[in-house]
Chains A and B, each alone.
Chain A
């Protein structure tokens, strides 16, 4: 989706505020982190659906809410969409005597093991990779109206395959609940000059992980 979350290359946001580095600026941010992880562990939606929900927020809200504010708004939206809470409940704060059955409720004693396990997204290869290290590839002019992990700043640009990862779950379909649809993942190296023009430092490079459907051979 062409959205404000896709920020690579914008220069309008001013200096970086590299001030004191508290992980949390408000106590409620701790709770949002924990609630998001705990509800996520119910398995009602996947990480790509979660990201899609954050990207779908109103642009002005996305740019002003802060990191955990984005999480909070997206979480409420997912809870509504998946029927875990109703709008009336969110408005009133009063729980109705109904609830949706979830796959799993994360227990405190399982937190460490669950976090340590993580959720690997590499999958066994069922096809051969189209590209090899050193190949020149072009990023296609893909404008996906829904979730994608193809940043706009590399579209139509040419790069070199730096590394071939495993096939990974494909976020573009996973975010729509259409299955994992694993695709080969590559690390592509782009020259700064190719991406940003002649006046940039010529020898700098940018590496971006790209799934095979984002790429074409040259």
Chain B
């Protein structure tokens, strides 16, 4: 997701973008019929052709056919419902995203009491902004300071604070990140273009339990004149994972 689309992703009242609507309705149409036979044949017939059609691979990609077949089976059995699937996808594709976390961070930057609450009981402080629930049941906020830079990982799978950051980016779920950040965080940071002063301590938080971590990046310099809403724009997603710093004040204009 680009930064541009991120900035509007948290407005739950936003209309679903046209292409998403199309996608969702495609899904519901296709899932509602029993194509399982023809899919199985397609899979055999077109096993080696799927790389040709990037945009219509749903007709050729064996995994896409396998998923559709599985979905059809589960719908027929009555274990799941089609409109439930669409609602779940819409939630995580369009409603929940890193703009939620940005609101939390910007509020912490301007409101010392809120920041203290966030640092002592993040779950409650975040819930007060109406962000809560699945994969954010037990939140801990960790604050970057001139002395410490925090980074978050899940080495064992890909645990991530969904209510404040949405679904994780691909790199967060990848083996290179999951494996290396605990042993060599500075090299990971340098791949993200971040160089810290040598004296600054890096603290890596491995999400092995159901506790989810949100990094509060340092407030950029020369932002005293900015409003809370303007400050939110400086809080990029990666800065709340710890692989970036908050964006400089110029980006707010």
A positions within 8 Å CB-CB of B: 5-28, 30-35, 37-39, 42, 51, 54, 63, 67, 69, 72, 75-76, 79, 84-85, 89-90, 92-95, 99-100, 102, 105-108, 111-112, 114-122, 149-151, 153, 163, 165, 168-169, 171, 185, 187, 189, 195-196, 200-201, 203-211
Q: Find out whether the CB atom of B209 lies under 8 angstroms from the CB atom of A203.
A: no
Q: Find out whether the CB atom of A13 lies under 8 angstroms from the CB atom of B67.
A: no
A-B contact count (CB 8 A): 271
State the CA gap A17–B69 with chains docked (Å).
31
Q: Find out whether the CB atom of A72 lies under 8 angstroms from the CB atom of B67.
A: yes
B contact residues around A100 at 8 Å (CB) = 77
Nearest CB on A from B16, distance (A): 13
Q: Find out whether the CB atom of A34 lies under 8 angstroms from the CB atom of B136.
A: no
State the CA gap A200–B201 with chains docked (Å).
12
A contact residues around B171 at 8 Å (CB) = 16-19, 21
Q: Find out whether the CB atom of A121 lies under 8 angstroms from the CB atom of B138.
A: yes
0/1 string, B200-211, CB within 8 A of A gives 1: 011111111111
State the CA gap A187–B39 with chains docked (Å).
49
Q: Find out whether the CB atom of A13 lies under 8 angstroms from the CB atom of B176.
A: yes
- Out of B57, B156, B178, which one reaches A26, CB within 8 Å? B57
Q: Find out whether the CB atom of A27 lies under 8 angstroms from the CB atom of B133.
A: no
- Interface size bucket, B side? 35 or more
Which of B39, B70, B175, B201 has the most CB atoms of chain A within a 10 A radius of its CB?
A: B70
Q: Find out whether the CB atom of A35 lies under 8 angstroms from the CB atom of B68.
A: no
B positions within 8 Å CB-CB of A: 1-2, 23, 27, 31, 36-37, 39-40, 57-58, 61, 63-64, 66-74, 76-81, 83-89, 91-93, 132-138, 140, 155-158, 166-167, 169-171, 173-180, 182-186, 188, 191-192, 199, 201-211, 243
